Amino acid sequence: MDNDIQSIETDEQNRQELEEEEDNTHCKGCGTDVIEPGYEIPLCASCRTELAHYPVPPLIVLMGIVATLLVLMGCFKFPKVLNAAVYEERGAFLERHQRYGDAARQYREVLRLCPDCTDDIIHYGVDAYKFGDYNASLDALDKLNGRDVDDDEKKEADKLESDLQDKINAVKGESK
């Protein structure tokens, strides 16, 4: 029984191959006898021209437009993001070398370009505090209210806030 099924399948494949070989003399598009020589797929000149001018599907055109818009948006946004990254790296370098006033200026530039960056707000506040600009440090802490902050950053901000509160209390005690 299995041999009969295999022989039927083999006969069917052989018949299809013979039909394909015989069909190479007719156009696959319209069935005419005149085909253009030199091509793998047998087509007449009019069918080949029609296939060459086949319209691009609208979904592909739409996806191309979306991709182009995304690339253009990235090109316009890239200089701003690059400048922010440069300022941030300069600030980190100056922090490591304990030049807190200069570091605070660099982080202020980062915040001018990217005002929602929580890490840079914290670095700016800490550097301003270490430089002695307590008002800028308090402003940075105020910007952190209502934001999701990592545990390490929260500890650093809380320490900064308590230090600032101690400074304020010390100044109030001296003025009495």
Predicted confidence (pLDDT) per residue in 9-65, tens digit: 676 766 666 555 555 678 887 888 888 888 888 888 888 888 888 888 999 999 999
**What are 97's two structure tokens?**
């070398």
* pLDDT given at position 16: 64
* pLDDT given at position 41: 83
76-93 residue pLDDT tens? 989 898 999 999 999 999
| Long-range contacts (CB closer than 8 Å, 24 or more residues apart) made by 135-144 | 136/104, 136/108, 137/164, 138/164, 144/118
Among candidates 58, 67, 49, 119, which has minimal Cα distance to 91? Answer: 119
138-150 residue pLDDT tens? 888 888 777 777 7
- How far, rounded to the nearest angstrom, does the alpha carbon of residue 10 sit from its chain's CA centroid? 53
**Residue 16 identity (one-letter amino acid):** Q
96-139 residue pLDDT tens? 999 989 999 999 999 999 888 888 888 898 888 888 888 888 88
141 and 164 Cβ atoms separated by less than 8 Å: yes
User: Using 50, 70 and 90 to split pLDDT, how confident is the model at 71?
Assistant: very high
**Residue 105 identity (one-letter amino acid):** R
Among candidates 58, 57, 54, 29, which has minimal Cα distance to 44? Answer: 29
* pLDDT given at position 1: 55
Among candidates 96, 98, 93, 142, which has minimal Cα distance to 121? Answer: 142
User: Which domains does the chain carry?
Assistant: 77-175 (1.25.40.10)
Q: State the residue for tokens 């599907």.
A: 57
Torsion angle of C-alpha atoms 130, 131, 132, 137, degrees rounded to 10 = -70
